[in-house]
Homo-oligomer: A and B are copies of this chain.
Amino acid sequence: MGVFWSRGYHATALPDLLQATKLSRGSLYAAFGDKHSLFLLALDRYIADALARMDTELDLSREPVDGLRAYLAGYVDRTRGANGRRGCLLVATAMELAGQDAEVGRRIASFFKAMEVRVADALSRAKMAGKLADGVEPSSAARILVCFVEGLRVVGKTGPTPITSQATVDALLDRFIR
C-alpha cells in the first residue's frame, strides 16, 4: 500500500512492488493476480483504515463537537511536513484514475459518501445538543467539511503549512459551532 501511496498508480513499477512486498515476480502474480488487483486491494485497505479512524474519532459516546475537532485535527496532522508531501492515496487516486477506471471510481465515490454520512451524523448530533450555530444544516455542512478536508490534502502537497492549517480549520469550525 505504501508504495502506491507515495508514488501513485502509474508511477509505481513492478520492481517497486517487489521490493515493498519482498516477493519475487512469480510469487506476487500468484498471490495477487496483477498490478491492478493489487492496487485495488491496497486502496480498499486505505479506505477501511480511514473509515475506521473516523469511527473512533467520531465515536458515538463522545461529545460530537470534540469528535469533529479530533477528526479535523487528524487532517491537519496529515497535512504537515513529510505527511503532507506524501499526500493522500484517495485524493491522488481520485484525480489519477477515478475518471477512467470504473472499479476505482465506485470505490472513491462510496468512500466520499461514507465520509459525508459520518460527518453529517456527528453534526446532527451536535445540532440536537444545541451546539451548532443558527441556520447550519448538518447535511450541507458535512458536504462542505468533506470538500474542505480533501482540499487540505491538495494544498498540503505544496506549502508545508505548519500552524496556519490548524488556524484555518479552527476558523472554519467556528463558523459552524456555537
Q: Number of A interface residues, CB 8 Å?
A: 48
Q: Which residues of B contact A155 (CB under 8 A)?
A: 94, 112, 146-147, 150
- In Å, the complex CA distance between A91 and B157 comes to 10
Contact of A158 among B105, B149, B158 (CB under 8 A): B105
Copies in the complex: 2
**Minimal Cβ-Cβ distance residue in B for A79:** B147
Q: How far is the CB of A88 from chain B (nearest CB, A)?
A: 8
Q: Which residues of B contact A158 (CB under 8 A)?
A: 94, 98, 105, 108-109, 112
Q: Is A42 an interface residue (CB 8 A)?
A: no
Q: Which residues of B contact A135 (CB under 8 A)?
A: 174
- In Å, the complex CA distance between A99 and B83 comes to 11
Q: Which residues of B contact A113 (CB under 8 A)?
A: 159
Determine if B140 and A96 form an interchain contact, defined as CB atoms under 8 angstroms apart.
no
Q: Is A36 an interface residue (CB 8 A)?
A: no
Q: Please list the 4 inter-chain residue pairs (A to B) with the smallest Cβ-Cβ separation, ordered nearest first.
A: A151-B151, A147-B151, A109-B158, A10-B10
